[in-house]
Amino acid sequence: MHEKKAEIAIITGNQAAANAARLGRVQVVAAYPITPQSSVVETLSKFIEEGELAAEFVTVESEHSALAVCIAASTVGARVFTATSANGLAYMCEQIHWAAGSRLPIVMGCANRAMAAPWSVLNDQQDSMSQRDAGWIQIYCRNNQEIMDTFIQAFKIAETVHVPVMVCYDGYILSHTVMPVEVPRQEDVDAFLPPYQPHLTLDPADPKNINPVTLADPRLNHEGKLCHGYMEHRFLHQEALLQSTETIIAVGQEYAERFGRDWGGLYWGYQLEDAEVIVMAAGSLASEATVAVDALRADGIRAGVLGLRVYRPFPKRELVAAVAQARLVVVVDKSLSYGNEGPICGDLKAALFGRDRAPALHGYVAGLGGRDVKARQLAETVRNSMARLDEGMLLSDTQWIDCRI
Amino acid sequence: MAIKILDLPEQEYMLPGNRACAGCSLGIAFRHILKALDGNCIFTVPASCLTVLGGMYPTSSVTVPWMNVVFPSTAAAASGLVAGLKVLGKEHITVVAMAGDGGTADIGIQALSGAAERNANFLYICYDNEAYMNTGTQRSGSTPMGAKTTTTPALGKRQHSKDVPKIIEAHGVPYIATASPSYPADLYDKVRKAIGIHGTRYMHINAPCPSGWQFPPKDTVKFGRQAIETGIFALYEIQDGVFRLTGRSKRLAQTGQLTPVRDYIVPQGRFKGIAEETIEEVQRWVNARWAAYVRRDAEAA
């Protein structure tokens, strides 16, 4: 219980991210500007230069170098932070894999933006979705308060499970839109998030060689002990990711107890419990879907929203349980695995495969390159899907919402 | 005070036996660099011959802390080590970025330029064996004109090598030096000097490579000496913008007698079939560059 109310600030998603990094007492920041992330970097520069945050800011010359700095600083034991979007995320791709394989607790913001070509600075989720296989935890935020809270949680999650965390939020829609955000007090964040305790650091007192060439098969060390091959390291990484759901939920619950806001853990539901048709999406799109659901409910359709919060690890069991009793799931992806289908749709379909009770699944793509997605379009999509279902149509191919060809 | 070979510290930081080629000059250079650092260092090493020398998990051939990094990022990783060590109150540890010519002049140049522009506080060492030796001798920006590599197999490299120290000089860093494993005392002294300077320090080390240059492993030191005798490689320092030749190159400038480049080029298998015109062009290029070095060195006097 707090005697004094925390401050309410009217801030953008980017400012929420920067403030969360400040409250998280990050020690090294390295970031390269890219629309629509730039004000995260600018805000943090201001905090550091004006003495509000005691951190080193390395003004790197590229995103690849930004993550290089974070990897190195994290390796010697500093808490680090960076943020990027789209082509910047793609530029650091090999480092994204490196950070994950190194098991470093790096927290990175991704202000979701469409990938070029062609050029677009506007929102979709292709950037972070394209990196889903690298082995980071990925969390999608639906509003600026969740951005603030999720970044703070992310440091604790990452440092507990030794897996880097990517906090994703829609470019412009959230990054640039002001919303009221309760900014936690520094002392309350300090009580929640202790200083980073690395499990391994580089120091001349105890010299180690980090991430050398690792062969296919286990190999003896100088003491005759058989040590892991590459595959065993990757197995441990995968195990850590799969088990991280427990930590993600626990950290969220602890945060809810201390700060009074519960974002649902792995996913959140709106009118989900008795829904016969579920709209599933990640980020602000899921938030928009709640408006669609209200309209559908007003017309007597038992619709609900399943807002996917944690995309990696993919919470298979929890999602299967959440959709089991529904007749239909309408998955709306704001990205596409080109040559196949939407990533969330494909992953849910795979999770449902072979189950006795599985709803029908219709996959849609919407909002690419910043194409606006209106609640009434989502509602119409649901109605169309239900009609097709009633007609007995299979609808296994991806449908496009508001594509004007 | 210039150190004498017999006075070099005895402590070794390289363990006996590693996966470098027989006759590898990098091994000689690295051994002396480590002695100069006396263990108070953290290395960051990209994909390169040095990675191989360091060893494969779970064994290591060196007893200093070492972080392997992706190929383009050496100088950025070093910047990260510096930032991390600073916030943790460990600035007394020397951060050393050590990369080959590929990781410096080509794929690594963006990160190096960015770090140098920021005057990031670390020592960057490039060991230049004049091709991508670790991946099998493909040409790099440092490959000399006329050299055969696996990507210049028939015609040999058609361009002169990139002058990386000159590029770094344009960034205004406090200390730049060239060195050779054939003159280990000069190399040791330069690393010792570099340790005491704040900001981005750059060292470019000539690294004759028996495998890639195609000469017998026993002749590594000899070819390193000859590179200097011909002026193809010069020993110098640029400290706070002041250029000075050092060691054998200084004495050569004073006696004024470079050996013809032909004597260095012809015995190396990588120059087999080199055209006469190319040798002449290399001689002309070396003469011009050497004249500029001698001129600058005289200005400092």
Is residue B16 reached through a cis peptide bond, with omega within 30 degrees of 0 on the bond before it? no
Q: Is the pLDDT confidence value at A4 over 60?
A: no
Q: What is the pLDDT of residue A201?
A: 85
Residues from chain A contacting residue B56 (CB–CB below 8 Å): 212-215, 219
Nearest CA in chain A to B85: A76
Q: What is the pLDDT of residue A393?
A: 86
- CA-nearest of B239, B243, B227 to B181 is B227
- CA-nearest of A179, A70, A168 to A125 is A168
Is residue A204 reached through a cis peptide bond, with omega within 30 degrees of 0 on the bond before it? no
* Contact criterion met (CB < 8 Å) for B76 and A64: yes
What are B38's two structure tokens? Answer: 């006396």
Strand partners, B239: B175, B242
Tell me the count of A-B CB pairs closer than 8 A.
168
Residues from chain B contacting residue A68 (CB–CB below 8 Å): 69-70, 73, 76-77, 79-80, 111
Q: What is the pLDDT of residue A394?
A: 79
CATH classification of the domain holding A24: 3.40.50.970
Q: Note whether residue B4 is domain-resident.
A: no
Q: Note whether residue A200 is domain-resident.
A: no
pLDDT in tens, A324-337: 999 999 999 999 99
Average pLDDT over residues A362-373: 98
Q: What is the pLDDT of residue A42?
A: 96
Q: Note whether residue A201 is domain-resident.
A: no
Q: Which of B57, B65, B70 sits opposite A203 (nearest CB)?
A: B65
Residue B70 near chain A (CB below 8 Å): yes
Interface predicted TM-score (ipTM) over 0.85? yes
Residues from chain B contacting residue A80 (CB–CB below 8 Å): 84
Domain extent, residue A100, equals: 7-192
For residues A312 and A187, state if they share a domain: no
pLDDT in tens, A283-334: 999 999 999 999 999 999 999 999 999 999 999 999 999 999 999 999 999 9
Residues from chain B contacting residue A82 (CB–CB below 8 Å): none
Q: Note whether residue A229 is domain-resident.
A: no
Residue B18 near chain A (CB below 8 Å): no
CB B50 within 8 A of CB B125: no
Residues from chain B contacting residue A25 (CB–CB below 8 Å): none
CB B169 within 8 A of CB B117: no
For residues A166 and A26, state if they share a domain: yes
Residues from chain A contacting residue B79 (CB–CB below 8 Å): 30, 58, 60, 65, 68-69, 72
Q: Note whether residue A48 is domain-resident.
A: yes
* Contact criterion met (CB < 8 Å) for B51 and A219: no
CA B285, distance to chain mean position in Å, is 20
Q: What is the pLDDT of residue B166?
A: 98
pLDDT in tens, B252-284: 999 978 999 999 999 999 999 999 999 999 999
Please compute Rg for chain B using Cα positions: 18
- Quote the CA–CA distance of B278 and B260 in Å, as a whole number: 13
- CA-nearest of A30, A38, A36, A37 to A63 is A30
Residue B72 near chain A (CB below 8 Å): yes
pLDDT in tens, B47-66: 999 999 999 999 999 999 99
Q: Is the pLDDT confidence value at A357 over 90?
A: no
Mutation target vs B (from A79, A82, A200, A202; most B CBs, 10 A cutoff)? A202
Binding-face residues of B in 179-218 toward A, CB within 8 A? none
For residues A173 and A26, state if they share a domain: yes
Q: What is the pLDDT of residue A372?
A: 98
Q: Note whether residue A301 is domain-resident.
A: yes
CA atoms lying within 13 Å on the CB side of residue A246: 6
* Contact criterion met (CB < 8 Å) for B80 and A71: yes
Query: Into how many domains does chain A fold?
Result: 2
Domain extent, residue B104, equals: 22-300
CA distance, residue A81 to nearest chain B CA (Å): 12
Q: Note whether residue B227 is domain-resident.
A: yes
Q: Is the pLDDT confidence value at A1 over 60?
A: no
CB A138 within 8 A of CB A132: yes
CB A99 within 8 A of CB A211: no
CA distance, residue A67 to nearest chain B CA (Å): 9
- Provide, rounded to the nearest whole percent, the portion of chain A with pLDDT above 70: 99
Q: Note whether residue B172 is domain-resident.
A: yes
Nearest CA in chain B to A227: B58
* Contact criterion met (CB < 8 Å) for B60 and A212: yes
What are A33's two structure tokens? Answer: 């500007």
CATH classification of the domain holding A341: 3.40.50.920
Q: What is the pLDDT of residue A3?
A: 52
Binding-face residues of B in 130-149 toward A, CB within 8 A? none
Residue B94 near chain A (CB below 8 Å): no
Q: Note whether residue A393 is domain-resident.
A: yes
Last residue of a domain, one of A192, A210, A226: A192
- Provide, rounded to the nearest whole percent, the portion of chain B with pLDDT above 70: 100
Q: Note whether residue A329 is domain-resident.
A: yes
CB A138 within 8 A of CB A164: no
Residue type, A70: C
Residue carrying structure tokens 């005070």: B1
Q: Which of B39, B57, B113 sits opposite A212 (nearest CB)?
A: B57
Average pLDDT over residues A370-393: 96
Q: Which DSSP state fits B267?
A: T
Last residue of a domain, one of A177, A192, A207: A192
Backbone angles phi, psi at B204, to 5 degrees: -120, 115
Using 50, 70 and 90 to split pLDDT, how confident is the model at A6? confident
- CA-nearest of A228, A196, A235 to A211 is A228
Residues from chain B contacting residue A227 (CB–CB below 8 Å): 57-58
Residue B154 near chain A (CB below 8 Å): no
Kindly write down the DSSP assignment for every residue of A86-149, as one continuous string: HHHHHHTHHHHHHHHHTT---EEEEEE-PPSSSP--S--SHHHHHTTTSS-EEEE-SSHHHHHH
Q: Which of B54, B73, B80 sits opposite A209 (nearest CB)?
A: B54
Q: What is the pLDDT of residue B1?
A: 72
Kindly write down the DSSP assignment for every residue of B138-205, as one continuous string: B--TTPPTT--BTTBTTT---SPPP-HHHHHHTTT-SEEEEE-TTSHHHHHHHHHHHHTS-S-EEEEE
Q: What is the pLDDT of residue A86?
A: 98
Nearest CA in chain A to B58: A221
SS3 call for A250: helix
* Contact criterion met (CB < 8 Å) for B111 and A65: yes
Spell A159-171 as b/e; 16+ CB within 10 A means b: bbbbbbbbbbbbb
Q: Distance between terminal CA atoms of chain A? A: 56
Mutation target vs A (from B69, B86, B119; most A CBs, 10 A cutoff)? B69
* Contact criterion met (CB < 8 Å) for A72 and B111: no
CATH classification of the domain holding B59: 3.40.50.970
- Provide, rounded to the nearest whole percent, the portion of chain B with pLDDT above 90: 97
Q: Is the pLDDT confidence value at B142 over 60?
A: yes
Q: What is the pLDDT of residue B301?
A: 78
Residue B55 near chain A (CB below 8 Å): yes
Residues from chain B contacting residue A207 (CB–CB below 8 Å): 60, 62-66
Query: Into how many domains does chain B fold?
Result: 1
* Contact criterion met (CB < 8 Å) for A207 and B66: yes
Last residue of a domain, one of A167, A192, A217: A192
Residue type, B1: M
Q: Is the pLDDT confidence value at A24 over 80?
A: yes
Which conformational region is residue B292 in: left (phi greater than 0), alpha (psi within -120 to 50 degrees), or beta? Answer: alpha
Using 50, 70 and 90 to split pLDDT, how confident is the model at B176? very high
pLDDT in tens, B30-46: 999 999 999 999 999 99
Residue carrying structure tokens 């055969």: B148
What are A355's two structure tokens? Answer: 């189950």
Mutation target vs B (from A61, A67, A70; most B CBs, 10 A cutoff)? A61
Mutation target vs A (from B70, B121, B122, B135; most A CBs, 10 A cutoff)? B70
Q: Note whether residue B17 is domain-resident.
A: no
What are A282's two structure tokens? Answer: 């990640």
Residue carrying structure tokens 């970044």: A151
- CA-nearest of A301, A332, A314 to A267 is A314
Q: Which of A73, A202, A219 sits opposite B57 (nearest CB)?
A: A219
Q: What is the pLDDT of residue A199?
A: 83
What is the average pLDDT score of chain B?
97
Residues from chain A contacting residue B76 (CB–CB below 8 Å): 60, 64-66, 68-69, 72
What is the average pLDDT score of chain A?
96
What are A374's two structure tokens? Answer: 């209106």
Q: Note whether residue B13 is domain-resident.
A: no
- CA-nearest of B95, B194, B193 to A204 is B95
SS3 call for A4: coil
Residues from chain A contacting residue B80 (CB–CB below 8 Å): 28, 30, 58, 68-73, 75
Q: What is the pLDDT of residue A5?
A: 65
For residues A164 and A280, state if they share a domain: no
Q: Note whether residue B3 is domain-resident.
A: no
Average pLDDT over residues B93-98: 98
* Contact criterion met (CB < 8 Å) for B64 and A207: yes
pLDDT in tens, A337-349: 999 999 999 999 9
Residue carrying structure tokens 């943090």: A44
Q: Note whether residue A223 is domain-resident.
A: no
- Provide, rounded to the nearest whole percent, the portion of chain A with pLDDT above 90: 96
